[in-house]
Structure 1
Amino acid sequence: MSHSVKRGKSRFEQFRMIVPEDVREVIGKTAWTESLRTTDPFVAREKRAELIIRCTAEIRQAREGIVDRAKADAIVLLDRAFSLLAQARGTMDRAVQLPLQLLGSFVLDSWVGTGRDMGAQWWGDFLVREPVTSDEAIPSFDNERERAMYRLRANLVEGRGIADGLVYQELAAILLDRRVFHPIWCVVSYMRSLEPRLPLAPDATYEVVAEAFLRRLAEYRFESWPENVADALAPLGRGAAPVLTSRPQPAPVEMRYQGLLAMRLSEGLQYWIDQRRPGESAVNEARRGVARYIALFGDVIIGTINRAQVNRPGFVGGSNS
């Protein structure tokens, strides 16, 4: 608020504008005061307008500086949270693997959890989010076929203790590239269980934290992975894809197969899950079996599968399994 006042016996009006409380520490005063040094009311009005513009700009700059410092401080606290997690889990590799696993599980669950009440989100004794309903799948892959193949890759690689985090790093990179921040609030908020001072509001600060969070996950270079594992598993990793001349290739589509028999095996698996809605243990077992079959024979047309392939020794369901 600004106005003009008379001071003592002075012939001139004096400009006065209160400094907002949120920037007083930065600006260093509670109000601006300055003589307008004129008795002409029209000149006084022009000078007062100029002073208002100048003071308003100073307020804006002070607030921008406060926001910038808050964002910088938030990044420091995020890195502190990662350091605390590394101390708790023994290595930074394991510290990064944990939020990667949380991210992967949360995103994959969202693909099949549309309309499901996700409930309150707790990290230990720390409530980080009120109950929410998952109305939409978190944006990442563009169609169900891509999602199905990604799930297959995650089942093959993640949780084996060899290169945990490799597939989920790919997901973090996609979310970072697409700037998908708010849908993963729950995962980012896990870091507050380690560093409660980490700010996730207002939105501008949260987006900075979420972007830094995803960047640290996507760009981290693991030390515990076997040498050249990323190249060996490309295109899951970032290396050049190796030439796999011995891997069986999917059989070409044969027109004589119709309906379910014309589907690829990975598509048939997802169709079975969507239509039958089996229990979690049944889904996991089916995915493991299909993953092994595809590794041996490729993602073939269902109608081309024969008994000899299913009974092959070493395959799930085979004579030596």
Structure 2
Amino acid sequence: MTKKSPSAVATSHVQDFLADLKLLSNLPTSKKFQKITLDEYPLDAQLLHSSALYRASREMYLELGGVFEAKVCSTMRSLSAQDLFADVIQYSPSWSELLWFRDHSEELADPDKELEALGRFNEISLYHEQNHRVLWRLLPPAPKDATGFRRYLNFAESLVVVLDLALGDELGKKLSPIYEDLKVIYRSGGEHTYHTKDLASYRKYLLAMVCATYCTLELVNPEDIVKVVDYVFPGQKKMNKDATARSLEINELFTRVTNPQWQERYWQEAQKKLAKIHKPSKEDVFELASDPLDLEAEFQLALRVFEYYGL
């Protein structure tokens, strides 16, 4: 190991990361969740202690027979090699390495490079990945045609994204951005207060975000999305405006490049795998409306998902 030179000083980025890591690593944990805590997954014990939604996701994934593999996994390998329809999720067992960096970064010649290297293997949210696998069991069978299947996948992704946002709300305005910065969750929350109100009001907000996120993934003109949400959910313009603004924060590269390219390349393979998952189902095929303005029954299904998660 190369000691740092006297002139080497940790950048503000490293200093902020260390402060965030120290704060979160000192949050309480609970022995009663030890059986479902993943060894060496960063901040898993802290999240299981503080979030009922995070715990519910883990428990539901394990109940369907899901397993985890502690293997070094880069962001790129996760995107290209992990099977979204298999109940096996890999994660980088890096907690000890992060704690060592927290306590010894001043000994490194270039802590920025070390942090950059660590980051390449610590950008996967297991909560998000679990929810995809759980959701396939909650949704009815998928359409067979390419266009209908695209809508189906985008609706499913919208639900998973909104579950990310709900976790951010539960973790709160102070801590969720820090968890997001450390890449263990994908979206922060708490900037709006709907989650602090009654459950019925919060569900309206969540449904508005599902609608706005779905429109975003369907590549509706961003300027028109709030109009769609207002039409589908009349009488709540302020809420719809807030929900749409938050939904539009989704990564544009994902919505316009990664997601469409993945669907175009893998939709037939994905359809076969989903058909196998849904083979025991007696529900009708889930055909989404071709026009987002006609969305209605779809949100009853979204409510079913939220209720299943305790939202």
Q: The TM-score by the shorter chain falls in which range?
A: under 0.3
User: Could you say which structure has the larger radius of gyration?
Assistant: 1
Q: State TM-score, norm by structure 2.
A: 0.23
Question: Which has more strand, going by share of residues?
Answer: 1
Question: Which has more helix, going by share of residues?
Answer: 2
Higher relative contact order (CA 8 A, sep 6+): 2
